[in-house]
Amino acid sequence: MSKRWYWSAPVLFGGLVLVLGLGLQTIFARSPYTHANLAGGYVANYTRTGQSVVGPPAPYVPPGLSASGAASSDPVALGRSLFVALNCASCHGLQGQGSNFTSPIVGFGVNTLQQRTHSGPGGMPAYADLTQDQLRALVAYLNSVAASKSSQAK
């Protein structure tokens, strides 16, 4: 008996890949998590999966800005609150001392801090919407950290 062409390994493998590919494509196309299946609101007759209705974008308020430090008239307390809320501390350390991948920012003046926050050098995000009062508060906090370090060293 001779070997038939449709039983050869490449043909069988190609057919298997084609069937699996079409099957997966059908499954993914019918998935409720594809963008084609997103609705603008709640659909009462849709019962395949749970529904989540997403509204218009909400403004982001960093977690520390609603704390008492944000309402304080003390620039050091406001600066500390901003430093944590804007996630400066996650890269530059809790006291601005820097880390393995960022430089220290203790001792920066308002102009230097404004230049760096507006342009976002390296991998740093830009914080172009910081006001002069917020920049002054950040500098006041960083200067208070530097002053406390120098008094502890004595």
pLDDT at 17: 92
25-54 confidence digits (pLDDT tens): 887 776 666 655 666 777 788 777 777 777
Residue 54 domain flag: no
Q: Which of 37-51, 64-78, 118-132 has the highest mean pLDDT?
A: 118-132
For residues 72-78, average pLDDT:
83
Residue 44 domain flag: no
- Residue 78 and residue 69 in contact, taking contact as beta carbons nearer than 8 Å: yes
Residue 105 domain flag: yes
User: Does the global pTM surpass 0.75?
Assistant: no
pLDDT at 42: 78
Residue 52 domain flag: no
**Which residue range forms the structural domain that includes residue 138?**
68-149
Report how far Cα 102 is from the mean position of its chain's Cα atoms: 18
Residue 102 domain flag: yes
Q: CA 8 to CA 54: how far, in whole Å?
A: 52
Question: Is 81 in the same domain as 144?
Answer: yes
- Terminus-to-terminus CA distance in the chain, angstroms? 98
Cβ-based neighbours of 69, under 8 Å, separated by 6 or more: 77, 78, 80, 81
Q: If DSSP codes are grouped into helix, strand and coil, which group holds residue 133?
A: helix
pLDDT at 62 over 60: no
**What's the pLDDT band for 58 if we cut at 50, 70, 90?**
low
pLDDT at 65 over 50: yes
pLDDT at 98 over 80: yes
Number of compact structural domains in the chain? 2
pLDDT at 23: 86
Residue 90 domain flag: yes
Q: Which among 41, 69, 36 has a CA at the least distance from the CA of 53? A: 41
- Residue 138 and residue 105 in contact, taking contact as beta carbons nearer than 8 Å: no
Cβ-based neighbours of 34, under 8 Å, separated by 6 or more: 28
pLDDT at 72: 66
